[in-house]
Structure formats: C-alpha cells, structure tokens
Amino acid sequence: MGRQENPLRVIIVTGASGSGRASALRVLEDLGFYCVDNLPVALAPAALRLVAERGGASVAGLGLGVDARERMFFPQWPQVFEGLEQAGSRPLVLFLDASAEVLARRYSESRRPHPLADGPLGVAEAIKREREALAGLFKRADHVLDTTTLTIHELRDTIIDIVRAGRQGPQMLVTLASFGYKYGMPVGLDLVFDARFLPNPFFVPELRDLTGLDPKVGEFVLARPEAERFVDALVELLAFLLPLYQKEGKSYLTIGLGCTGGRHRSPALVLRLKQRLEEKGFAVAVRHHHIDRQLEDG
C-alpha cells in the first residue's frame, strides 16, 4: 500500500481485559471511526486501504481493538506498525489498564471468564500472564489510561480529548484534574499540587453551596495574592517542563490540583491555570473528580 496524501488515522486500543477496551471502541465509533475488535492485526493495512477507499469523508479513521488472544499479532506487530507508517498512518496506541484487584472484581461481577483463564488457571494468574504478553505494546503506547477509578463518562471524555488533540498535530495534551484529598487522590496523576494552604470558601456561608466553577468562588479564591503567585509559579514551572516531556516522547500529561473536598479551591485554580496555559499555546483539558460530592467540611 503506497503512501496516501491524506491518510486516515489509525488508533489501536489494547490493554488488560476488563479495563474498558470495548467502551473505548464505542467512543471512537461515536467520533466517526470505523472500529473492529479482535481483527487479526496483520490485516490492518488492508483494512485501512478498504476504509480509505470506501469510507469517504464521513470516516474519521480506523479503530482496532487488540487483546492477548490475538497471539499471531504479537510476533508481527513491529512489522505491522512499520507497514502502516510507510503508508503514512502512524498508529496511535491507547493502552487501558486497571489494578489487578479491580480487574478481578469486574470479572467476578460480570460472571464472565477471563479470556486467558485456562482450566485450573485462576483470574489472578491469567491477569499476570496477560500483562506479560502485552508488555511490548505497553512500552509502545502513546497513552496509558488507568481506569481503576474512572467512570465510563470520564473515560469517554479522556478519549475524546486525546482524539481532538491528535487532530491538532503531535502537541502534548495537558489534563488538569481537580480533586479532594478527603476522597483520595485519583489514579494516573503525573504531577500533583496541594492548594489547601488557601482560605476555604466552604466556611463562607454565601459560597458554601457553590462550586469553584462559579465566578464568585473564583474571585474569592484568586483574590489572595498567594493564589495568583501560586498560579504564576505553576505556569513558569510547566512552561519549562512540558516541552521537555514532549521532547522525550510523552504525549499526555495529567496534573492534579487538590484541596480538602475538591469542590471550591482546586476547581477554581484549575480554571485559572487552564486559561494561563492556553494563552501560552498549550492544549489543555479539564477534569473535576469530586466537585459534586456532598461535603461536611469543605
């Protein structure tokens, strides 16, 4: 297959069984991708050619689901990827994972057997073997998404952000995530900053029932000189770090800002930091993990 002038995008979704691969493929379908789960990946170049020839402008790209059952794929995947790249379509790899305990619980709740479970082989051993089989793809992955604590809506939003950022080119996508320490730190944060040194709007009666997305709360939080200095320091640090991370091949960075309950201070700071980073040309997405929790002490 020769190089195409405007090649379709190819996204390969892989990872641990039970981590959400099928859900991720459904998101790609909603975004206009033609998706096939468990297609022998050696056929990917042919599938890409067919989709490009017959799909027209309505098809955004090709999404392929790959798991460890596709044994014939693993010895061949470097050659398959090379063939796709020679055709002008560098495949983007999304690797989904979750903690072994969560994966085992999901299989227990669904009452489905693990695809690598064989006779006396238990789920824990099957998960271990699957991770070993997928180690090469894990190292090759452009984005590793830990779905241990993600809701289906958060997974959807994350994948949409990744796809949209890819349309803009190879620019790194920065996700700013607010959270509350009282509910636990979300999984998958690359950098974490603590905003609990700022006065808490929870203790201001007229602000208690609002969130950090409300301008009144934002004004209260950012009115303190130390709040703007904090944002200034973060912008300076990230303007230095982000190009270095991207130079080393990282395409997705998640930065957590936490306060006590994740309802007031950290969401307000996330919005301000997003504005400042976008002014510098960075692609930024936002997640508010605990903003809707009912709090007793902010």
| Residue range 204-215, pLDDT digits in tens | 999 999 999 999
Mean local confidence (pLDDT), 86-112: 80
For a pLDDT cut of 90, what percent of the chain falls above it? 36
Backbone angles phi, psi at 37, to 5 degrees: -100, 130
> What digits encode the pLDDT tens for the residues 236-247?
999 999 999 887
> What digits encode the pLDDT tens for the residues 161-194?
888 776 655 567 898 999 999 998 887 789 999 9
Is 0.85 surpassed by the pTM of this model? no
* Domain boundaries defined on the chain: 9-169, 174-288
User: Based on the number of CB atoms within 10 Å of its own CB, is 44 exposed (0-12), middle (13-18) or buried (19 or more)?
Assistant: buried
pLDDT at 136: 82
For domain 9-169, say whether CATH 3.40.50.300 is its number: yes
> What digits encode the pLDDT tens for the residues 253-263?
899 999 999 99
Q: Is the pLDDT higher at 239 or at 70?
A: 239
